[in-house]
């Protein structure tokens, strides 16, 4: 008997999980037009899988439509092919649904283009824990640490390339069992799509090896975190970079200064979306190479916004390399919401001509609850997300906090590591 091929379409939802539905590959052309039906509440399933109270309850219907340009088709010997698409959620009339994470990012990118004529160029650097190596002894950055993960890294890079995601690096990181994978920068929506595909393929490859990767923010409260660092810059209408200005402080153009100042200004509220789990805040503590303040600094891996190095003498090459790294994100966040909110906050900085204030770098919120309060108090966030999505998100995340009530930090880390 021959097996029948099945395709999955999903999105990185409010919990940051990649969720959706699957169908026979034979029906693909019809599904590319019609999509698969979802309850609106589908995108509000909790981080841990349970159905939480949402504004929609059990009613309503929306459609998740595969985006043909995102096709992932990666055969694995002796097991099912990884075959999936990323999708957009539309209403019954076929209009973009306001709560669709990919749509939230599209809106932000559209605004960026309208206000400034710029396109975002970004990439996600993703750290994770791989169960296929021993935790002891720790082997930070050692060749032997890299060696002991065996064939996992090579298989992952091959799978990414096959899926149209260009690998940039794979390395043995600082913490026990920790590795990192980075992709080449991509324009706009594709940058977030690449992050989602990379996470899934890391899981897919680990699964074929009888192992698991965990992208949870931190495996135990006193450990070192798994960050998702986002490198970003822009290209103008003639494909030229715009952040670099050799004459100015930190080689940062005026636009770059304003954009960063906007992100720094709104950072406490942004945390609720980019570091959106209880465990996210155990990572954002001193001496973990993770940020603790809403600060900006050149070449500093402890800063929330790091101005990255450039090399060589050619001014054009320097300008093209120049980028900023946002370090306050982790994999419990949807890459779509993360990029959307960064762009919106940066644009707010441009609109209000904000300037980086190196001496005024407030501490980041120390818990998800505190971050949600900042988000709720932000008037700008209402405009960025829409009042309905913002209210739903606050309710969604507060239910997550309540669900983990009375658990120790160690137990909370364990719960997140099981599902991310």
- Which of 162, 367 has the CB closer to ligand GLU? 367
Enumerate residues 6+ apart whose C-beta is below 8 A from 227: 125, 127, 217, 283, 290, 327, 329, 330
Please report the DSSP string for 91-114 in residue order.
-TTSPBPTT-HHHHHHHHHHHHHH
Among 185, 227, 262, 268, binds ligand GLU (CB under 6 A): 227
Among 289, 367, 404, 414, binds ligand GLU (CB under 6 A): 289
Using rule CB under 6 A, residue 127 touches ligand GLU: yes
Q: How far is the CB of 165 from ligand GLU (least distance, A)?
A: 20
Question: What's the CA gap between 105 and 122, in Å, rounded?
Answer: 13
Token duo for residue 152: 């996992």
Dihedral (Cα; 308, 233, 365, 194), 10-degree rounding: -100
Taking CB under 6 A as the rule, which mask of x and - marks residues 77-116 in contact with ligand GLU?
A: ----------------------------------------
Using rule CB under 6 A, residue 141 touches ligand GLU: no
Enumerate residues 6+ apart whose C-beta is below 8 A from 408: none
Among 191, 290, 296, 304, binds ligand GLU (CB under 6 A): 290
Question: What's the CA gap between 74 and 7, in Å, rounded?
Answer: 12
Q: What angle do CA 184, 188, 192 make, to 5 degrees?
A: 65
Enumerate residues 6+ apart whose C-beta is below 8 A from 416: 47, 216, 217, 277, 278, 279, 332
- Which of 199, 283 has the CB closer to ligand GLU? 283
Size of residue set near ligand GLU by CB under 6 A: 11
Q: How far is the CB of 56 from ligand GLU (least distance, A)?
A: 35
Question: What's the CA gap between 348 and 327, in Å, rounded?
Answer: 20
Query: Which range of residues in 156-164, 222-230, 267-275, 352-360 is near ligand GLU by CB under 6 A?
Result: 222-230
Q: For 45, what's the count of Cα atoms within 13 Å in the CB-facing half-sphere?
A: 16
Select the binding partner of residue 283 from ligand GLU, Mg ion, none (C-beta < 5 to 8 A, by kind). ligand GLU
Contacts to Mg ion by CB under 5 A: 180
Select the binding partner of residue 266 from ligand GLU, Mg ion, none (C-beta < 5 to 8 A, by kind). none
Question: What's the CA gap between 232 and 223, in Å, rounded?
Answer: 28
Question: What's the CA gap between 336 and 193, in Å, rounded?
Answer: 8
Using rule CB under 6 A, residue 145 touches ligand GLU: no
Token duo for residue 108: 């932000």
Q: Footprint of ligand GLU on residues 311-330 (CB under 6 A)?
A: 327
Query: Which range of residues in 83-91, 104-112, 264-272, 281-289 is near ligand GLU by CB under 6 A?
Result: 281-289
Using rule CB under 6 A, residue 35 touches ligand GLU: no
- Which of 266, 283 has the CB closer to ligand GLU? 283
Among 110, 301, 351, 352, binds ligand GLU (CB under 6 A): 301
- Which of 29, 287 has the CB closer to ligand GLU? 287
Select the binding partner of residue 289 from Mg ion, ligand GLU, none (C-beta < 5 to 8 A, by kind). ligand GLU
Among 54, 123, 214, 224, binds ligand GLU (CB under 6 A): 224
Question: Phi and psi for 19 in degrees, rounded to 5?
Answer: -125, 150
Q: Give residues in contact with ligand GLU (CB under 6 A).
A: 127, 174, 224-225, 227, 283, 288-290, 301, 327
């Amino acid at each position: 008997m021959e097996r029948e091929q099945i395709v999955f379409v999903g999105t990185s939802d409010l919990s940051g999980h990649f969720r959706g539905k699957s169908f026979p590959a034979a029906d693909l052309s019809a599904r590319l037009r019609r999509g698969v039906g979802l309850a609106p509440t589908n995108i509000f399933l909790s981080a841990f899988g349970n159905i939480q109270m949402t504004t929609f309850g059990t009613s309503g219907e929306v459609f998740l439509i595969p985006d043909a340009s995102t096709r992932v088709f990666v055969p694995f010997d002796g097991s099912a092919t990884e075959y999936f698409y990323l999708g957009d959620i539309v209403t019954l009339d076929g209009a973009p649904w306001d709560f669709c994470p990919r749509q939230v990012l599209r809106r932000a990118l559209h605004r960026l283009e309208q206000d400034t004529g710029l396109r975002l160029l970004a990439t996600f650097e993703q750290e994770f824990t791989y169960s296929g190596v021993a935790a002891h002894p720790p082997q930070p950055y050692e060749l032997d640490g890299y060696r002991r993960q065996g064939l996992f890294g090579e298989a992952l890079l091959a799978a990414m390339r096959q899926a149209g995601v260009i690998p940039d690096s794979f390395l043995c990181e600082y913490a026990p069992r920790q590795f990192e994978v980075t992709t080449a920068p991509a324009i706009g929506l594709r940058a977030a799509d690449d992050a989602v595909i990379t996470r899934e393929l890391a899981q897919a490859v680990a699964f074929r090896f009888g192992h698991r990767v965990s992208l949870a923010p931190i495996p135990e409260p006193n450990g070192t975190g798994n960050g998702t660092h986002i490198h970003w810059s822009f290209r103008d209408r003639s494909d030229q970079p715009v952040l670099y200005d050799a004459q100015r402080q930190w080689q940062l153009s005026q636009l770059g200064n304003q954009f960063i100042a906007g992100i720094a200004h709104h950072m406490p509220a942004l945390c609720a979306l980019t570091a959106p789990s209880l465990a996210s805040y155990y990572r954002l503590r001193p001496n973990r190479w993770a940020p603790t303040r809403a600060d900006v600094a050149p070449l500093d891996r402890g800063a929330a916004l790091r101005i990255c190095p450039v090399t060589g003498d050619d001014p054009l090459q320097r300008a093209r390399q120049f980028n900023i790294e946002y370090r306050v994100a982790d994999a419990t966040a949807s890459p779509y919401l993360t990029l959307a909110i960064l762009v919106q906050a940066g644009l707010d900085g441009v609109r209000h001509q904000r300037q980086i204030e190196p001496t005024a770098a407030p501490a980041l919120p120390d818990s998800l609850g505190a971050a949600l309060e900042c988000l709720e108090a932000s008037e700008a966030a209402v405009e960025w997300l829409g009042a309905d999505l913002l209210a739903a998100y606050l309710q969604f995340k507060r239910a997550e906090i309540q669900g983990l009530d009375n658990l120790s930090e160690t137990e909370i880390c364990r719960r997140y590591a099981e599902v991310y």
